[in-house]
């Protein structure tokens, strides 16, 4: 009986020492202290205040030469679904809105829009609204050059401009705060919010460069995912046989 009591006393003493060590360590990670540091082995931005995280992720995004952006954007009451690959001198990808789908390609300052004949036939303007199936047929399936003075150029070129899109999207409104550690597509993230989420929420990678990975826009204005940061892709003018120069103002979709 004496031996049993002595054993229990020794175990209790060891437990007390372990508890004291954990208390002294505070936030430090010690094996057996009942938790893991969520920022262990990361790029360290998760330990920063929200405003510095935002500054770091914006700097990383601006410095990256390429990115893929997908998801939805609501602007002027209209929802656009995007899947765009962007680089400094242009971009390529698809846009869908109100059931109409089309592709955009911009190389330098030249913007092209590619859609099927139904898209052009339903457009308001010279190729649509008057049953001009012949004009729509000539445009359908081709890369149609968009004149820089055409309203469509201003409307759609922004979807192909990396700097314009990131400047307009990567902004949280209101008071910034961190909102815990999360995961996006297998990558550990730290989330920052504006006004507790009402001003938007942004997940920032804790692995490698602190790139933005997922954005929930303020006011229900869409959700976007960012991937393939720095991953190059081919961007070139389309073949002449696949190109149509409409030569005047395009039909407005």
pLDDT tens digits, 8-35: 555 554 544 444 444 444 444 333 355 6
The answer to whether position 178 is within a domain reads yes
Share the mean pLDDT of the chain: 84
Kindly list the distances between the CA atom of residue 73 and the CA atoms of 112, 194, 214, 215, in Å, as whole numbers in the listed order: 21, 18, 13, 11
Let me know the angle formed at the C-alpha of 157 by 155 and 159, rounded to the nearest 5 degrees: 90
Structure tokens at 249: 């103002």
The answer to whether position 210 is within a domain reads yes
The answer to whether position 188 is within a domain reads yes
Average of pLDDT values for 140-161? Answer: 90
The answer to whether position 253 is within a domain reads no
CB 122 within 8 A of CB 131: no
Considering the chain, what percentage of its residues have pLDDT values greater than 70?
A: 78
Question: What's the structural domain count of the chain?
Answer: 1
Average of pLDDT values for 95-108? Answer: 93
The answer to whether position 239 is within a domain reads no
Average of pLDDT values for 150-155? Answer: 87
- The pLDDT value recorded for residue 253 is 45
- The pLDDT value recorded for residue 136 is 77
- The pLDDT value recorded for residue 252 is 53
The answer to whether position 17 is within a domain reads no
Cα–Cα distance between 41 and 62 in angstroms, integer?
25
CB 113 within 8 A of CB 140: no
Kindly list the distances between the CA atom of residue 13 and the CA atoms of 17, 32, 134, in Å, as whole numbers in the listed order: 6, 16, 91
The answer to whether position 127 is within a domain reads no
Average of pLDDT values for 238-242? Answer: 89
Domain of 70, CATH number, reads 2.50.20.20
| β pairing state of 90-97 and 78-87 | antiparallel
| pLDDT, tens digit (0-9, with 9 covering 90-100), for 78-95 | 999 999 999 999 999 999
The answer to whether position 197 is within a domain reads yes
152-187: string of b/e by CB count within 10 Å (b at 16+)? bbeebbebbbbeebbeebbbbeeebbbeeebebeeb
- The pLDDT value recorded for residue 23 is 44
| pLDDT, tens digit (0-9, with 9 covering 90-100), for 48-79 | 999 999 999 999 999 999 999 999 999 888 99
- Residue 69 sits in which domain range? 45-99+161-231
């Amino acid at each position: 009986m004496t031996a049993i009591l002595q054993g229990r006393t020794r175990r209790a003493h060891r437990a007390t020492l372990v508890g004291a060590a954990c208390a002294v360590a505070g936030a430090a990670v010690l094996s057996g202290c009942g938790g893991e540091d969520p920022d262990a082995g990361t790029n360290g931005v998760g330990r920063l205040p929200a405003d510095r995280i935002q500054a770091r992720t914006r700097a990383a995004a601006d410095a990256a030469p390429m990115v893929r952006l997908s998801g939805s954007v609501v602007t002027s009451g209209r929802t656009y679904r995007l899947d765009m690959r962007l680089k400094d001198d242009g971009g390529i990808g698809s846009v869908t809105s109100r059931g109409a789908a089309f592709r955009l390609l911009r190389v330098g300052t030249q913007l092209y829009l590619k859609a099927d004949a139904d898209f052009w036939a339903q457009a308001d303007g010279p190729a649509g609204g008057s049953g001009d199936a012949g004009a729509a047929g000539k445009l359908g399936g081709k890369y149609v050059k968009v004149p820089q003075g055409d309203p469509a150029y201003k409307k759609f070129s922004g979807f192909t401009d990396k700097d314009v899109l990131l400047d307009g999207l990567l902004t949280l409104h209101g008071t910034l705060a961190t909102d815990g550690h999360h995961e996006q597509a297998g990558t550990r993230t730290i989330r920052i919010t504006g006004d507790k989420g009402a001003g938007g929420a942004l997940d920032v990678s804790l692995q490698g460069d602190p790139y933005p990975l997922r954005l929930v826009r303020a006011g229900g204005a869409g959700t976007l995912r960012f991937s393939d940061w720095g991953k190059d892709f081919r961007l070139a003018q389309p073949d002449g046989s696949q190109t149509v120069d409409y030569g005047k103002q395009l039909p407005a979709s």
